[in-house]
Structure 1
Amino acid sequence: MKIFQIKSLRLKILMFTLPMLLLTMTVLSWFTYQNSKQLINKEIETKMQYLLNSTIQEMQTKLVSHMKLPQTLARTVESAGDVMSKDKMYSLIGKYLSTNEETFGIGVWYEPYQYKDYLKFFGSYAYRFNGQILYSEDYNTESYNYPNQSWYKIAMDTADTIVWTDPYYDENSKSTILTTAAPFYHFDGTLKGVVTANINFDHLQSIVSNIKAGTTGRALLVDKKGTYLFDKDKKKVLTANVANDSNASLSQAGKRILDNASGSTFYEDNGYNYRVYYQEVPETSWKLAMVIPESELFAPLNDLLVKSILIIAGAMLFVVILIYVFSSYLTGQIKKVNRFAESMAHGDFTNTIDIGSADELGNMSEQLNGMVHQLNVVLRKVYSSSDQVADTSVQLMLSTEQTAKAAEEISCQIQEVSVGSGVQVNQMNEANVKIQDTHERLKVMSDKMVSASSLIRHTLKQAQSGNEEIQEAVHLIQDVHSKTEESVRIIELLSAKSSEINKIVNLVSQISQRTTILALNAGIIASQSGSNGKAFAVVAQEIRGLAENSSEAGLEIQNLIREVQSEMKNAVVIMESSTKAVHFCKEKTESAGLSFDVIVSAVTEITEDTGAVGDDIGFIHSDMENLIEMIEKITEISADSADRSTSVSAATEEQMASMQEISSSAAILTTLAGELRETVEIFRL
């Protein structure tokens, strides 16, 4: 390249330094400019967001205060039902209207025939006029037909408690009005009517018009459809749409504003670029935007750019002068070094160099003088050591021959070690196979112990359940035993009672016999009395018949009692036998309960022992896995040792070859030592 053919060092320094310096300063300025631009953008965005937030907060405060009036009034009218009179209605809406200065008017509008079944339209409306609150019923006409008005329909069709209309121009008040509508319902959920509240939109427009965005910046307000609600161009308000603006750039920016809740965008108008910062008003979904020219935004940044360019130009001029002066000084010092090097090239090591400065060049001159001195010393040592090199090379030849023999013996030993390592690897592999087989068997045993432990735990549960059932049977048998004894006692008591009944029956039989005799005697006496005793004879005959029946019944009762007493004796015998059997069952059941206690205790011990054995087998299984890993590692180490032994054997053979090469090199070194001595004699020391 031509740049490397330039002979002037000064010019080379300038040609290399200036472009790099210019590039560095340019890049530094560019980064400074971009960083400043980012900082200014961030600061502007922060200020715009603060301005937007504060304005929206002020608007939100007015809107919320206004919105609460129809919302709460609707609930009040709804809860009042059909009992509110017209006077109370006007009084109520008047009180609500007086609570908020921003609200222009409030109305309560009923569905047709809902206020009174004979009254189709009923709407009570209160509004402000010259500082007073006036009331009107002018809207309750067929011609106005308020249920067909847009502000009424949107309340009918909404599921929300409150809904906002778009701003519209009211001919009566000669102002732009914003209506808030809140539906109210019957107890069954059907629409009963709508409460409305109007706010003068000029109040909200004045808030937007008072915004100051820089020197030439301005604010604009659009609804959720893009219609202008406020702009410096009054002709656009309520008539133009920002998304359909004749300026295509502004139209695109308007679409971005409508599509996003907040952010920033830009557009171009008459050759000027404008930056737009916007944010959504929560209650109405309007978009408030701040528009400011980019020329105003970045004016401080452009001033900074001009100042940076001037500073770079001055710095470049200063650096050029400084480089020229420094390169002249540097060139003079390099010439001295060049002359000193030229004398060294001719073999003259008797000269020295003196730069006469304390900087790096002066340090270099001292180092060069020291280097020449050291070269003198080295050359003298080389001259005196060349003979020693020749003698050492002879000794080196002898040593290499001995080393070669030793390496050959080492190679033989290493080969034997390699063979032994191979045998060890085979044995370790066989041991690993056997241990893995043992490991698998232990695993199977562990699985069986786990299964056996599960079965034993199940058996323990069954044994415990059986023990509980035996204990319950013992209690039942004890209960049966006690009831059997009670039955025996009752039967014995019945037997005693039947003996008493038998005595009573005997007594009745004796009375019957005596009655029969008395009746017979009475019949004889009656027959002797003639006609006067006939009636008495009939009575005596009946008494004798009853006595005979009683005697027969007494005999039957005695027979039945004898049979009952006989059966009771049999029942007593059977009960005593049953008592003995129950007692025997009780003893056997209690014995079985004790046996089940022993079984449960034994199964519990077996469960614990089985769990301990399972844990031991698990530990053995884990130890076997560790042992397998250790054997595999030992096998790998043995295999690696065999491989290394082979490598060492090969390296030993290579070393033998190297020894032969060293022996040859020692012979050559002897020759070179003589040539070196002749070469050193050329220099003047």
Structure 2
Amino acid sequence: MSKFSNMFHSISTKLMLLVTVIILITGALVGTTSYYIARSQLLEAGERDLKSIVDGSLASLELLNENVELGIFSLEEAQEQARLVLGGPVNEEGNYDYLSSQFSYKQDGYLLAYDQDYVLQIHPSRVGQEPPNEHTRNNRAMMVAAGQASGIEDQYVIYADLQEDGSYRDKTAYMQHFEPWDWTIGMVVFQDEFYEDLNTLSTFILLSTFVLVILSTLVFYFLTRSKIKLLKNVADVSNNIAEGKIYQTNLKESSDEIGQLATAFNKMSVELKTLVTNVQKTSTHLLDSATDLSAISEETSASSQEVGEAIAEIATGTQEQANDLEDINSRVDLLTKAITAMASQNEKMSTLTTKTATLSTEGSEIIERLQTSNAESLTASQQVSNEIKDLSDKVKEITKVMDTIENIAEETNLLALNASIEAARAGEHGKGFSVVAEEIRKLAEQSKGATHQVQSVVSAIVNETASTVKTVEGTMKTAEELSTDVISTRSKFGQLSLSVEDIVSSLNLVKQEIDTITDHNKEMSAAIESASSVSEETAASVEEITSSIDEQVRVMGNVAESAEQLTHLNQELSNLIEKYDVMS
């Protein structure tokens, strides 16, 4: 049953059935068309035969009527003679044998004639018979009317004739009117006699169609067997591909559509084999790339975390720096207070120095305090020395500025002098300008004088600064020696009075330097505040960088997740590709 079902579903079987149906339909159409065309032509030929026979019978009646007119025959004799000529001789049964007459048509075609009362005048067996019933009367009336019609087509009559078994059978009659005798004569034939030979034609058409179907099926089978086999091979290869077996096909190629299908399938198998091979290789490379990407993203994420930690440490360091700056600022405040205290102490030292001569008895105690203060003074003296050197540099810069101002004043003076000369030349018109030029000259002279005064002061400051530097250096050296010479100083305390005066003058210089140090200390405080502000801005920038690093870490996490998804998709692709076995 399965084999029969497969055979029934085979495309070759379906195509042969289709060809058979097409041939049968074509044969039926051709046969039916031929049958009806032949029938129509036979009907027309039969009608022409009927007309020819009736025309011949009329010629015979004309001859008989001429004999009547010549007196050879009486009308009754002529009419009887017409029955014998047209209807045939009388047989043993007393009927006219129309088959022996020359005016018959096949087996059942014979001549008949009616008078105006529809009484039969010529008939094989019913001469003189009146219409037995209304149906017969109507038929005879139609035939008589047709015989008197003017057109040939109207002289043909088709009517249903009642048979002995009660059935009706169509008849065709061709009628003409013979006026001398007032007869309507015609030939009556059953219609099926016209095309009774069509049965043989129908049988021939059926047999021809059957033979044509058999021959066409065989020819179609032998012509399409190789193509059907090729299609079967294509189906087998397609099933193998569906099962994962991919190999290069070598189907027979040709120029027709199925051959082109084989060509395309051969090319497709090569391309599909190449595609699957490349996909398998690409899948392997993709897996390696996805693994590398995952590893790189993890390393980048770890590096970003380390950078984040480093930035956090920088933020901590920045905060510590800000704290240190605050601490330094506090220390600077303390330094300011210490400088103030040192200034005060310097005043006290000056007072004490003036009293040294009278307070020598207290020298030991003062030396002890001096030893205590000496260490502090040594450190402060070092700072003072540095500040004094900076001050010296700034004083030199001030000197350069004063020189520039002096030059400008001299140039201004010259310009004012030239302006006065030009104003004098201008007379009354330049009088007002001369006053202005004179005032400018005076201002230039005053500026020059003030510059000279400033330069004098600055020069004095430079000299005093140099002396102070030396003094400070000497003080530092003295302070260093003082630490070791305190005991010997007690024995030489008497010499201290000689040095007190020098100390007093030096203390005055120290006071000036302390004032300078105080000014520099204020500048240092401002710089520390500026550094603290920069530190705060740095801390804010570090926070922004930290936020960016966190975002980068999050993005790299997404990249790592995408890499894992890519690895998973690649695994699915590998699973799909693995079922395909690429064969040579």
| TM-score, length basis structure 1 | 0.32
Which one has the bigger strand percentage? 1
Of structures 1 and 2, the one with the larger relative CO (CA 8 A, separation 6+) is 2
Which one has the bigger helix percentage? 2
| TM-score, length basis structure 2 | 0.36
